[in-house]
Amino acid sequence: MKISVIGCGYVGLVAATCFAEMGNDVVCQDIDGEKIRALEGGKVPIFEPGLEELIKKNVRAKRLSFTVDFEKVVLHGEVIFIAVGTPPRDDGGADLSYIENVARGIAAIAKVPKIVVEKSTVPVLTGERVEQVLKCGNGNAGKECIQHMVVSNPEFLREGSAVKDFLEPDRIVIGTNSEKARAVMEKLYAPLKAKIVFTDIKSAELIKHASNSFLAAKISFINAVANICEKTGANIQDVAYGMGLDKRIGASFLNAGLGYGGACFPKDVDAFIWIAERNGYDFGILKEVQKINRLQRALFAKKVEDILWVLKDKTIGVLGLAFKPNTDDMRLAPSIDIINALQKEGAKIKAYDPEAMERAKTVLRGVEYCNSMYDVAKDADALLFLTELDEFRKIDFEKVKKLMRQQVICDGRNMFNPAELRSLGFNYVSIGRV
Ligand code: UDX
């Protein structure tokens, strides 16, 4: 099939590459010429396991190409995926101006009916607007009327396993009011042999926001329970295990820690609250989800302060900066708030993250970046684990103990066994475990 993808960001790039891998003829467009030149030269602007090899393979096989030419991408595909950014606005809503511009562009250029697919995460009722823009008369007066078809096909990929998530999805959601578009989308995804949910556009849009918000709520819920565990002496890992065995609850996303960060959950929860409000509903439960998430970071910084007492001129080592393992993504990472809070009290921060240090340098000021975990531990008054990287699990605590000034470990991801760490002579704190 001839496929066009507009937007070479996270979602667009992964989708375009995977559609090419599935045997389609894919053109992927972005307005950022530098990005396109880099991609043409085989350089991938994001860190995502397996993606670079797959891009190179499909470019070589001539199934995947990149362009800045909007007209070319619109004319190419029978199906056009819109995967442009929907950045958050100050009021929590999503900025949909890029989506609107693309829809207008398609309406102006396309000469035959296209299947126009929303791939970016958008609030419910966006598809309706896209349909209006694509219709004749909406800025296209005088042009011969072409009946484009609109589909909502949200993406559920996680950073770090995006290619696998795309090619082996739990489900594919296809929302459309057009029989033809439904049949074409079904054919496009058939090779994945995945469960497909067919529905209308609005319901598909809501499935995305509701899914991400539900997962964020699960995380905040378990973090709230972790706080009760700390106050009462219970163990959050046992509590989560006991809860998760109930099939109705499920074991995943019940890891207490520093809460969620990244480009999706915070933004999607905000946008869901916003669109609910616009439609006359106060989504109070989600406001609380966000509040718990913010509090979790502040409580962790407070824990460090409680142990070290005066933070001024103390040296604090930080292991892990990215919002989760195996990514260099620093967007809304807990490390940012925690480091800022400690710096505000006068602490000196040393840090190490195998992937994220370059990006961290653009958002964190006054941090001494180190080349290894042990460089961070040297002369530190406390060592903080903020991202659960496998490399950190193998740390030699006997060595660390000798390097540190004070033997304090603050584990924000419950990576280690409290009894073991205490028997080694550390003052050890974690989340929801005493
Ligand atoms: C998420 C969704 O999983 C994905 O479906 C959507 O398309 C985009 O948003 P991602 O942001 O890549 O993906 O990360 P994910 O692995 O889901 O983790 C999100 C955050 O929640 C991370 O900060 C992680 O540390 C945190 N988390 C996750 C917890 O704190 N506890 C858990 O049990 C699970």
Same-domain pairing of 56 and 163 = yes
Residue whose Cα lies nearest atom 3 of ligand 1: it is 158
What is the percent of the chain with per-residue pLDDT over 90, rounded to a whole number?
Answer: 95
Q: Which residue range(s) make up the domain with 157?
A: 2-199
Protein residue closest via CA to atom 25 of ligand 1: 324
pLDDT tens digits, 259-306: 999 999 999 999 999 999 999 999 999 999 999 999 999 999 999 999
What CATH number is attached to the domain comprising 30?
3.40.50.720
Give the single-character DSSP code of 346.
T
CA of 253 to the centre of ligand 1 (A): 8
Ligand 1 pocket mutation pick from 208, 260, 268, 290 by most atoms within 8 angstroms of CB: 260
Half-sphere exposure of 409 (CA within 13 A, CB side): 26
Q: Which of 219, 293, 297, 332 to mutate to test the pocket of ligand 1 (most atoms within 8 A of CB)?
A: 219
Closest residue by CA, ligand 1 atom 7: 156
Band of residue 139 on the pLDDT scale cut at 50, 70, 90: low
In angstroms, rounded to a whole number, what is the distance separating the alpha carbons of residues 45 and 36? 10
Question: For residue 147, how far is its CA from the centre of ligand 1 (angstroms)?
Answer: 38
Please indicate, yes or no, if residue 303 is contained in any of the structural domains: yes
Q: Is the pLDDT of residue 74 over 80?
A: yes
Beta strands of 203-293 (E only): which ranges?
none
Number of other residues whose CB lies within 10 A of the CB of residue 213: 22
- Shared domain for 164 and 307, answered yes or no, is no
Does residue 326 have a pLDDT over 90? no
Active site residues: 264
114 in any annotated domain: yes
Residue 107 alpha carbon to ligand 1 centre in Å: 36
Per-residue pLDDT reduced to its tens digit, 205-249: 999 999 999 999 999 999 999 999 999 999 999 999 999 999 999
Q: How many CA atoms lie within 13 A of 235 on its CB side?
A: 8
Tell whether 313 is covered by a domain. yes
Amino acid sitting at position 103: A
Q: Are residues 14 and 161 in the same domain?
A: yes
With b meaning 16 or more CB within 10 Å and e meaning fewer, what string describes 215-245? bbbbbbbbbbbbbebbeeeebbbebbeebee
Tell me which of 165, 199, 233 is where a domain ends. 199
| Local structure of 29: helix, strand or coil | strand
Q: Atom 26 of ligand 1 has which residue's CA nearest to it?
A: 260
193 in a structural domain: yes
Residue appearing with tokens 């459309």: 176
* Alpha-carbon radius of gyration of the chain: 24
Indicate whether 6 and 148 sit together in one domain. Answer: yes
Helix (H) or strand (E) holding 185: helix 179-189
Q: Which of 163, 184, 199 is the last residue of a domain?
A: 199
Total-model pTM: 0.95
Asked if 191 and 324 sit in the same domain, the reply is no
Q: Atom 15, ligand 1: which residue's CA is nearest?
A: 158
Ligand 1: centre distance to CA 234 (Å): 25
| Alpha helical stretches, state H, 143-178 | 162-167
In a domain, 219, yes or no: no
Q: Is the pLDDT of residue 42 over 90?
A: no
Give domain status of residue 39, yes or no.
Answer: yes
Q: In angstroms, rounded to a whole number, what is the distance separating the alpha carbons of residues 267 and 294? A: 13
Give ligand 1 pocket residues (Cβ under 6 A).
155-159, 212, 219, 253-255, 257, 259-262, 264-265, 323-324
| Lookup: tokens for 248 | 């109705």
pLDDT confidence tier of residue 144, bands split at 50, 70 and 90: low
Domain count, the chain: 2
Average pLDDT over residues 11-19: 98
Output the CA 425–ligand 1 centroid distance in Å: 33
Domain boundary among 164, 199, 234: 199
CB 391 within 8 A of CB 367: no
Would residue 390 count as lying in a domain?
yes
CA distance 232 to 212: 31
Model confidence band, residue 5 (pLDDT cutoffs 50, 70, 90): very high
Residue 107, token pair as written in the block: 């309406």
Q: What is the mean pLDDT of residues 48-72?
A: 96
Evaluate whether residue 225 is within a structural domain.
no
Q: Which atom of ligand 1 is nearest to the CA of 252?
A: 33
Q: Which atom of ligand 1 is nearest to the CA of 388?
A: 25
The pLDDT score that the predictor gives to residue 94 is 94
Q: What is the DSSP letter of 332?
A: T
Neighbour tally for 282: CB within 10 Å: 10
Q: What is the pLDDT of residue 138?
A: 53
In this prediction, residue 104 has a pLDDT band, given cuts at 50, 70 and 90, of very high
